[in-house]
Structure 1
Amino acid sequence: MALASSLLTVAALGAVLLLADPAGAAGKTGQVTVFWGRNKDEGSLREACDSGLYTMVIMSFLNVYGHGKYSLDLSGHPIAGVGDDIKHCQYIGVPVSLSIGGFGSGYSLPSNRSALDLFDYLWDAYLGGSRAGVHRPFGDAWLDGVDLFLEHGTAADRYDVLALELAKHNIRGGPGKPLHLTATPRCAFPGSGYLGRAVATGIFERIHLRIYDDGDCEAYWHLAWGKWTAAYPATRFYVGMTASETTNGWVHPKNVYYDVAPSTQKADNYGGFMIWDRYYDKLTNYTSIVKYYA
């Protein structure tokens, strides 16, 4: 479908569907999280926050860690100025987190020591620390949270140690603001072993359950959602959807309205929507429609 046609279709649909509320309206939160940092053409972090579409932005990814080396990949975005953008977002009430992991193969946490080293690095480079010799890419800006977005690993990886260390230290992403500890798994329950053990600690504030980019998910995501939300009642769950029409598992806004929103909002610990990602969202205006159902 051509982009222009797509935008007209979505806009027309929104005009019709806004006349009524979905069955699950009682569970609406209005919370929409978006991932930013995967395409230079998506615009700046400040622009994403100023759009008024999102209640949280997650930068992606810190994609090298676990063996004494660390690397941040923001797809060519100039790092200079991001720190000021973070502060601006926080000032207008949009928290900004950093996601670790991603689609590459340069990360792992093979031991307790490596998990604790990553904790130290995150604290000193992105949160409230200031250890000599540790570069702070965003200067004195403090991020609001850490997200786990893991596409590979082994059962021996110690993300549980990392998560517990974050919680134990009661780290704050900024003055007076508690750290948002989140995870973004595929929808299969109980999840991959390397992330499953971390989530099993029960200390995650939010889980963004991806129902896209997974052929099996299209058939059983409702069942998986029920299992996840029942297993961790103290965690808020966000249904993760893609704004790209060409990605497997894309959900038409009409089906968000009639199926995804009312189905997910039945859970007492429903949190909202997670959108992948800002680049695709700018192309399709997806969130501008579905946010009303969140």
Structure 2
Amino acid sequence: MCPFQNNILQGALSTGLFDYVWIQFYNQVNNCNYDSNNPTGFKTSWNQWITSPYAKNQNVFVGLPASRNASNGGFVPSQVLINQLLPFVKQSDKYGGVMLWNRYYDITIGQYSSRIRGSV
């Protein structure tokens, strides 16, 4: 989950055994969901994850819902993802890609993954 919980995850992540970390930036009651009108909360959360001293070897993935129906908040339209969110997260050498929840919604609602594939 996006809210940074170093007391819970620090021990596991600091082992260096994880190559990839998938962070859920949706269904959050705080500012973790990306909002193109006010991206500060997302950006702050992202920066906290990628600058964490014990997350030095991980590739960090941005977890998003594949459609509005796949979550209770945090859906980012494909063009907003491509034009606004990705240019920001790709600045980090820790950026690993995008993780989508879930494939069922991706297939039945409109192939979100196909629209973003060339940009991630």
Using structure 2 for the length normalisation, give the TM-score. Answer: 0.80
Report how many residues are paired.
108
Q: Following TM superposition, by how much is the alpha carbon of 1:195 offset from its aligned partner in structure 2, in angstroms?
A: 3.3
Q: Following TM superposition, by how much is the alpha carbon of 1:255 offset from its aligned partner in structure 2, in angstroms?
A: 1.1
1:178-193 equivalent positions in 2, closer than 5 A: 186-189=1-4, 191=5, 193=7
Q: Indicate the residue corresponding to 1:225 in structure 2.
A: 46
1:207 aligns with 2:21: yes
Q: Indicate the residue corresponding to 2:59 in structure 1.
A: 236
Q: Indicate the residue corresponding to 2:111 in structure 1.
A: 285
1:272 aligns with 2:65: no
Cα distance in 2 for partners of 1:256, 1:204 equals: 26
Identity of aligned residues (%): 28
Structure 2: state its 5+ residue gaps.
34-39
Cα distance in 2 for partners of 1:193, 1:242 equals: 26
SS of the residue aligned with 1:268? coil
Cα distance in 1 for partners of 2:93, 2:106 equals: 28
Structure 1: state its 5+ residue gaps.
1-185
1:263 aligns with 2:88: yes
Q: Tell me if the contact between 1:215 and 1:249 (Cα under 8 Å) persists in the aligned partners.
A: no
Of the two, which has the highest radius of gyration? Answer: 1
With over 3 angstroms needed to count, the CA separation of the structure-2 counterparts of 1:269 and 1:198, relative to structure 1, is: same
Q: What letter is aligned with 1:198?
A: A
Q: Following TM superposition, by how much is the alpha carbon of 1:188 offset from its aligned partner in structure 2, in angstroms?
A: 1.4
Cα distance in 2 for partners of 1:243, 1:262 equals: 19
Q: Following TM superposition, by how much is the alpha carbon of 1:201 offset from its aligned partner in structure 2, in angstroms?
A: 2.5
Cα distance in 2 for partners of 1:196, 1:224 equals: 16
Cα distance in 1 for partners of 2:91, 2:8 equals: 29
Cα distance in 1 for partners of 2:46, 2:67 equals: 22
SS of the residue aligned with 2:116? helix
With over 3 angstroms needed to count, the CA separation of the structure-2 counterparts of 1:293 and 1:204, relative to structure 1, is: same
- Determine which structure has greater relative contact order: mean sequence separation of CA pairs < 8 Å that are 6+ residues apart, divided by chain length: 2
Q: Indicate the residue corresponding to 2:36 in structure 1.
A: none
Q: Following TM superposition, by how much is the alpha carbon of 1:266 offset from its aligned partner in structure 2, in angstroms?
A: 0.5
Q: Following TM superposition, by how much is the alpha carbon of 1:194 offset from its aligned partner in structure 2, in angstroms?
A: 3.5
Cα distance in 2 for partners of 1:220, 1:270 equals: 18
Q: Indicate the residue corresponding to 1:197 in structure 2.
A: 11
1:59-208 equivalent positions in 2, closer than 5 A: 186-189=1-4, 191=5, 193-208=7-22
SS of the residue aligned with 1:280? helix
Q: CA RMSD in A?
A: 1.7
Q: Following TM superposition, by how much is the alpha carbon of 1:205 offset from its aligned partner in structure 2, in angstroms?
A: 0.4
Q: Tell me if the contact between 1:238 and 1:272 (Cα under 8 Å) persists in the aligned partners.
A: yes
Q: Tell me if the contact between 1:236 and 1:271 (Cα under 8 Å) persists in the aligned partners.
A: yes
Q: Tell me if the contact between 1:210 and 1:241 (Cα under 8 Å) persists in the aligned partners.
A: yes
Q: Following TM superposition, by how much is the alpha carbon of 1:192 offset from its aligned partner in structure 2, in angstroms?
A: 6.3
Q: Following TM superposition, by how much is the alpha carbon of 1:200 offset from its aligned partner in structure 2, in angstroms?
A: 2.9
